[in-house]
Amino acid sequence: TIDDSKSLLSILDVAGGTGDVAFRFVDAANCEERSKSSGKDEVNVTVCDINPEMLRVGESRARKRYGSALFDETCALKFVEGNAQCLPFEDNSFDLYTIAFGLRNVTDVDMALRDALRVLKPGGRFLCLEFSHVQNVPLAQLYDIYSFHVIPKLGEVVANDRDSYQYLVESIRKFCTQDELVTRMKTAGFEGVKYTNMTQGIVAVHEGWKPL
């Protein structure tokens, strides 16, 4: 349960176990400075991930980076284990929901989108950063060659893990297109849905709003 009765801004970062996205919110909101004084922070960031080991790594990194007051006194940052398809939070809990390179790995994307809408407050914003599809045909062909022939080989040479990098490439190709994700977000109930391509569509940012 998230007690946000005194929060000006309540943020949920899903599939963000190691904390990289959350740390940027904490830094931008200057939560570390406020943790030096007493009282609960008016900005809180919750990291939710299905992998408990990732959460342990994230919390350990956060405590080393910010100290324990951010957790134990101001409650500006929390790490919570949970599944994106059935989040362990009450309805209408968050102002902002972010998920970076995680939606592609969810078993039931539509269920996760519906639950994202559920936990957002009316007027809350959904932001998804995800690998997507290059829409320029010649560039897409070059990207396919690089993806299927170079990336797995790099994984094998650098990380001794060809299979994981092969999965990465295949999961990106199997994931829905930019326009398909727009449709699925609208079906889940989001309004004002749009996307912005980055690097010619290799990555895209999708956004939408929960109706008031």
| pLDDT tens string 48-94 | 999 999 999 999 999 999 999 999 888 899 999 999 999 999 999 99
Question: Within a 10 A sphere around the Cβ of 45, how many other Cβ atoms?
Answer: 29
Q: What pLDDT was estimated at residue 6?
A: 58
Q: What pLDDT was estimated at residue 121?
A: 97
- Low-confidence residues of the chain, pLDDT below 70? 1-7, 38
Q: What pLDDT was estimated at residue 73?
A: 87
Q: What pLDDT was estimated at residue 38?
A: 66
Q: What pLDDT was estimated at residue 36?
A: 80
